[in-house]
């Protein structure tokens, strides 16, 4: 665990991660559920840093069946997915709270929108600084280095 940056809190059987557990990845993604032979196995939930979660049945580290819930409570449904499709372009918050008055456009599902620091780009999981080529999470925690330069804002 010390080499990967992960943290395991749970039961062991014959020196292997097995039983009920909490597994924290270096990306701040947290798995809470059952483990077997060092892998996700049985019922478990992945909690993502964005606030969304994936509840699933796992078999030898692979999700067999699951449901994804966005941070705002919207449940993803593969067969009956009608959110922001060609017929209805509203955000989930607009569906829940209604449309804003004319002239007050809502540009993202987040209302009010996140403030992007000047000269940075929003990557969906954090802010990219083109000068340092680093992406930091919304809580200012390092996420990753990038290998490409993007044009800066003037």
Residue-range domains of the chain with CATH: 1-99 (2.20.110.10), 107-148 (no CATH)
User: For 140, which DSSP code?
Assistant: S
C-alpha gyration radius of the chain: 20
- Per run of 10 residues, the mean pLDDT along the chain (length 154 residues) is 82 93 93 96 95 94 92 79 66 74 69 84 87 89 76 55
**Nearest 5°: CA angle at 4, between 70 and 68?**
15
Whole-number pLDDT of residue 72: 79
Q: What pTM, to 2 d.p., does this model score? A: 0.58
Beta-ladder partners of 152: none
Task: Note the pLDDT of residue 30.
Answer: 96
The 3-state DSSP class for residue 3 equals coil
Query: Which ranges in 80-150 belong to alpha helices (H)?
Result: 92-97
pLDDT value of position 43:
97
Going by C-alpha positions, the residue among 112, 106, 113, 141 that lies closest to residue 127 is: 141
SS3 content of the chain, % helix, strand, coil (to 5): 5, 40, 55
CB 145 within 8 A of CB 128: no
**Residue 64 pLDDT:** 94
Q: What is the pLDDT of residue 122?
A: 86
Find, among 51, 53, 35, 15, the residue nearest to 124 by Cα: 51
């Amino acid at each position: 665990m010390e080499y990967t940056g992960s943290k395991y809190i749970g039961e062991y059987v014959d020196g292997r991660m097995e039983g009920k557990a909490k597994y924290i990845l270096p990306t701040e993604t947290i798995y809470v559920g059952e483990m077997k032979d060092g892998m996700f196995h049985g019922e478990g939930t992945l909690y993502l840093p964005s606030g969304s979660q994936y509840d699933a049945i796992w078999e030898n580290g692979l999700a067999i069946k699951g449901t994804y819930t966005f941070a705002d409570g919207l449940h993803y449904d593969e067969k009956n997915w009608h959110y922001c499709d060609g017929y209805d372009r509203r955000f989930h918050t607009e569906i829940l709270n209604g449309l804003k008055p004319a002239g007050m456009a809502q540009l993202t599902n987040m209302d009010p929108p996140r403030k992007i620091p000047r000269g940075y780009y929003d990557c969906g999981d954090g802010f990219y600084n083109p000068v340092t080529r680093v992406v930091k999470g919304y809580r200012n925690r390092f996420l990753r280095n990038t290998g490409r330069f993007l044009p800066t804002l003037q």
